Amino acid sequence: MVHEKMQTTSTLGLREDSMPFRLYQKAKKFGIWNPCDIDFSQDIEDWKKMTEPQRENILQLISQFQGGEEAVTLDLLPLIMAVAKEGRIEEEMYLTTFLFEEAKHTEFFRIFLNTIGETGDLTVHHSDKFKEVFYDMLPTAMEKLLTDTSPEAIAEASTVYNMFIEAVLAETAYFGIHNSLEKSGLMPGLTKGMSLIKRDESRHIAYGTFLIQRIICEHPHIYDLVAQKMGELTPYAIQLNKEGTKNSEEHPFGVDPDASMNFTMRQLSLRMEILSRARGKKIEEVYKSEISDYGVQEEVEV
């Protein structure tokens, strides 16, 4: 890649008011936490006291989180490369923190599993639908960016990654952990770590929303392609939700299974409603948008 000029030594400098650069600043402030510092001593005691169905429920959820975090850590690099090739320095600066955080999340779940003594093969909890998303669909969409950096390809990759995996599947899982464990005061180390991960991923979702809105603003036909992709992904969200309560007439933590499904459907609707706002916007409006415009919470200390 040949550089015609260097932006940061030109009169342009860095665009400090842009959404990506503001996310970069937030990542420096809120993203520096160490999984090794989290205290799991109470989690070990809680794990011993849980019923077998409760342990099975948590193992299924965490095994899928672990697999998902490993997958996104492995698969993110082509998006960073695609953005870098376009010379979008502020976006690339933010994306360097994005990859660091995904790696940290992978480490967190592995530490948790080691701590409670679950060091065996947990891929038995990766269903066929889960594998279709994380073993095939995600890496295929991301790897495509190595040879195709068209607006269509980038939008598809970000839709699968940010809009579906992070903003629908992961957000639903956080919702489930909150209802199952946090409300009951169980496993404080796990719930604290997941709160920190959720905070990191609020920035990831905000960037993905910004990215797709930017592309829709520049290429309006992309909205229909994104809507079509989300429509194709919806059955996966429904099926994975159902699998969360498989073989059980009653949720092991007494949670209403309909609450999780309703949350998922709201997330699917919310993502498309927010992306639709890019149609007719001027590009400057997209760059100066706020995180609160993207349906994610502003960050606070955990």
The 3-class SS string of the chain reads CCCCCCHHHCCCCCCCCCHHHHHHHHHHHHCCCCHHHCCCHHHHHHHHHCCHHHHHHHHHHHHHHHHHHHHHHHHCHHHHHHHHHCCCHHHHHHHHHHHHHHHHHHHHHHHHHHHCCCCCCCHHHCCHHHHHHHHHHHHHHHHHHHCCCCHHHHHHHHHHHHHHHHHHHHHHHHHHHHHHCHHHCCCHHHHHHHHHHHHHHHHHHHHHHHHHHHHHHHCCCHHHHHHHHHHHHHHHHHHHHHHCCCCCCCCCCCCCHHHHHHHHHHHHHHHHHHHHCCCCCCHHHHHCCCHHHHCCCCCCCC
Q: Of 32, 159, 163, 149, give the one whose Cα is nearest residue 101.
A: 32
Cα separation, 295 vs 166, in Å, equals 13
Q: Give the model's pLDDT for residue 164.
A: 96
pLDDT at 241: 87
pLDDT for residue 4: 64
**Angstrom distances, CA of residue 170 to CA of 52, 98, 279, 288:** 24, 16, 27, 27
How high is the pLDDT of residue 302?
54
Residue 11: per-residue pLDDT: 58
pTM for this structure? 0.92
pLDDT tens, N- to C-terminus, the chain (302 residues): 666 666 665 657 578 899 999 999 999 999 999 999 999 999 999 999 999 999 999 999 999 999 999 999 999 999 999 999 998 999 999 999 999 999 999 999 999 999 999 999 999 999 999 999 999 999 999 999 999 999 999 999 999 999 999 999 999 999 988 888 987 889 999 999 999 999 999 999 999 999 999 999 999 999 999 999 999 999 999 999 888 665 556 778 877 878 889 999 999 999 999 999 999 889 999 999 988 888 876 665 55
Q: Distance (Å, rounded) from C-alpha 38 to C-alpha 25?
A: 24
Q: What pLDDT was estimated at residue 15?
A: 82
**pLDDT for 249:** 60
CA dihedral 243, 271, 84, 215 (to 10 degrees): 140
Q: Which domains does the chain have, with CATH numbers?
A: 40-294 (1.10.620.20)
Q: Tell which residue, 77, 69, 88, has the closest CA to residue 19.
A: 88
